[in-house]
Homo-oligomer: A and B are copies of this chain.
Amino acid sequence: METNGTTPRDALAAVTGVRLTALRDAHPLVQMITNFVSMDIAANVLLAAGAAPAMVFAPEESPDFVRKASALVVNTGTLSAAGAQAMEVATTAARTHGVPWVLDPVGAGATRFRDDTITRLLRHRPTVIRGNASEIIAVARLAGLTQDAGAPRGVDSAHETWQVEGLATTLARHGACIVAATGAIDIVTDGHTLIRLANGSPLMTKVTALGCALTGYVGAFVGLGGDPLEATVSALAAYAVAGDIAAEQATGPATFRMAFIDALYGLHASDMQQRLRLG
């Protein structure tokens, strides 16, 4: 990212502010093949942010639909054989038509079925991979980059993001993609630069599918075009700052969820300038 004589923090805040406005102006159409737990919140997050989410997964219509989309987001939660087939068809079409796509490898490492599905999806070369630290380890293992099993117990992370900085960088370089691992500190890398973001609230882990919704939000930012690293970092920065704002108003996970969506809806460049913290 160019810093134009300002600090990297100020430069990122400014870039993110520009993208927040661009999102509301462009209403990018984001096709999502996401898990059933996340559908409500992911769609609401994208609408609040100014994007146009569309949950379209049938193999009969995905290739038709993805051509009109600004980005495709694929999430392996609540996976089924039919769902895996839908993802295969949609990601193939995305690559054919040059539509950027974002992978959220929910549950990577948890079962053989997830791993086999994710391995097949990696062949279609995602533009961005967004997961928690354990999922990034598991994906790196599937890509042959580590022996570390990384397997979490369920779908939550058993690792901190600082533990996967090296692997994330290797995975990004190997896949020629952006890798983002989110947690208390979020990290984003293109295999060369690595950025750490420090905003956010522990309450974010107490609202289901807020990570899945983030992946949709990354899709919206990437769908605006421009540098995918910058798009991904901007999305994570904005999302975490909205988390800070919401945490100030929350008495628990449900008030947090409500305040968070409203914060995304009202988020402005000035919020980024005031609140953004690098890790």
Interface residues of A (CB under 8 A from B): 29, 35-37, 39-41, 43-44, 47-48, 52-58, 60-61, 64-65, 68-69, 77-82, 107, 110-114, 153-156, 205-209, 251-255, 257-263, 265-266
Contacts and interface: CB of A to CB of B under 8 A. Distances in A.
Number of identical monomers bound together in the oligomeric complex: 3
Contact of A207 (B44, B61, B209): B44
Given A110-B65, A254-B48, A262-B255, A56 B78 contact: yes
Contacts of A262: 251-255
Nearest to A35: B55
Contact of A39 (B37, B254, B255, B260): B37
A135 B40 CA distance: 22
Contacts of A258: 254-255, 258
A39 B5 CA distance: 48
11 contacts: A37-B55, A40-B41, A44-B207, A47-B208, A57-B78, A57-B80, A58-B81, A68-B110, A251-B266, A252-B265, A252-B266
B44 A253 contact: yes
A26 to B, nearest CB: 11
A29 B113 CA distance: 19
A64 B261 contact: no
